[in-house]
Amino acid sequence: NFFGIKESRNYREVTSFDLSGDVHYLTTKSGILYELKNEESKIVLDLSNDPNFVAKGAPGLLGVVSNNDFVYISYTISDDETHDDYLVVDEYSKMFQKVKTIIQIGFVTPHHHGGTLVFDKLGKLYLSVGDGGTPNDAQDIKSLRGKILRFDISEKNPKPEILAYGLRAPWKSSIDSKNRMFVGDCGDQ
């Protein structure tokens, strides 16, 4: 029993934690976002009911981070017509009303999406994006795949800024107290 989360299968599906502030958040691959407060948990968002949400293979609800009055999540959707996947980052109010979509990045395979979200000390939002199984995209600075992207969320329509490229599957990243970023990139066998 972790913060009242009793379904044991959800322990195996945990993809991300946000431990900043008094309220914490936990995401599961299957699309459930938990709010953890005062040793209690409650489901505040369930993407599994969205017909476009996809959680087969690597995709799913991948990341969560909060900043001031907003919560940001990253997750995958699928286009029924093209069968392409998209990595999406949305901004929500603390009442979990969707404010806007920050970015949507297309993938032709269900692999290497990344999806970790972190903030730096200056309030900039970072997103890790995998190469989608197409390694040439990671080296191509015209593509957003295989990169670490930064967004100035104080802007009305934040544009992605490429900070690092050449990454395969940057599954996790963090920023330490000295504002240094560490990235866990999965290599090939």
Quick one: pLDDT at residue 79?
Answer: 83
Q: How far apart are CA 101 and CA 176, in angstroms?
A: 27
Q: How far apart are CA 149 and CA 151, in angstroms?
A: 7
* 9 pLDDT above the threshold of 90: no
pLDDT digits 0-9 by tens, 78-118 = 987 776 899 999 999 999 999 999 999 998 887 888 999 99
Q: Give residue 8's pLDDT band: very low, low, confident or very high (50, 70, 90).
A: very low
Quick one: pLDDT at residue 6?
Answer: 53
* 2 pLDDT above the threshold of 90: no
Burial 118-151 (b: 16+ CB within 10 A, else e): bbeeeebbbbbbbbbbbeebbebeebbbbbbbbb
The pTM of this model reads 0.91
pLDDT digits 0-9 by tens, 115-148 = 999 999 999 999 999 998 887 999 999 999 999 9
Q: How far apart are CA 30 and CA 33, in angstroms?
A: 9
How much is the mean pLDDT over the chain?
89
Quick one: pLDDT at residue 81?
Answer: 75
pLDDT digits 0-9 by tens, 136-188 = 999 999 999 999 999 999 999 999 999 999 999 898 899 998 999 999 887 66
* 17 pLDDT above the threshold of 70: yes
